[in-house]
Amino acid sequence: MRRAGIEALFIFIAGTLLALVPIGIWPAPIFPVILILRLFLFVLPPVWAAKRVVSTRREKMSRRFWLLGPGLALLCGLANALIALLLGESLPLGGPAGPADLVRFGAHGVAALSITAFSVSMLQTFGLLLVYYTIAVVCTRLANGGFMRFTMPAGNGRVTL
């Protein structure tokens, strides 16, 4: 379980760092592929973690799967805040939005950033991650054989579906 979470965190960090690469570096034909790759790296961590967790034979939706999504969201939210503080935030299409947020705390004028604005931004990101990661982990687990399990017909020749 821990290893799956760490692998998912590294996937999220790779996607966040890829978003910080300036747009001008990518050749025009490759840029749409980079955008799709960034989307894939944002969507993949909870699915990856839910698929990597080895469960017992009869386990369906246990508490650890319900907590995997929020736990991953917390880890990825903290990693996102750390990257924003040290390297800065990214623009929607890619590239840095400005200097690192830690530098912007002491700045004046347009580049200034208050701790309140930073906190609200990180809480919004965490809320998005929390909702998506929880839904993605639960749906991945249910699609992976933990949804409807019943035995038919009754008797010696039972088949479990």
With a CB cutoff of 8 Å and minimum separation 6, the contacts of 49 are: 4, 5, 7, 8, 68, 72, 137
Phi, psi of 6 (to 5 degrees): -65, -40
Instruction: Say what the pLDDT of residue 111 is.
Output: 79
- Listed in sequence order, the DSSP H helices in the chain are 2-19, 31-52, 63-86, 101-104, 115-141
Residue whose C-alpha is closest to residue 23's, from 98, 100, 92: 92
Instruction: Say what the pLDDT of residue 148 is.
Output: 52
Reading the block at residue 63, the tokens are: 């508490």
**73 phi-psi bin (left φ>0, alpha ψ -120 to 50, beta other):** alpha
With a CB cutoff of 8 Å and minimum separation 6, the contacts of 66 are: 134, 138
pTM given for the model = 0.82
Return per-residue pLDDT of the chain as tens, 161 residues: 788 889 999 999 999 999 999 999 999 999 999 999 999 999 999 999 988 887 666 666 677 778 889 999 999 999 999 999 999 899 888 888 888 889 888 888 887 888 999 999 999 999 999 999 999 988 888 777 655 555 555 556 655 55
User: Total domain count for the chain?
Assistant: 1
Instruction: Say what the pLDDT of residue 66 is.
Output: 82
Residue 148 burial (10 A CB sphere; 0-12, 13-18, 19+): exposed
Which amino acid does the sequence have at 13?
Answer: I
Instruction: Say what the pLDDT of residue 20 is.
Output: 93
Residue 83 belongs to what domain range? Answer: 2-160
**88 phi-psi bin (left φ>0, alpha ψ -120 to 50, beta other):** left
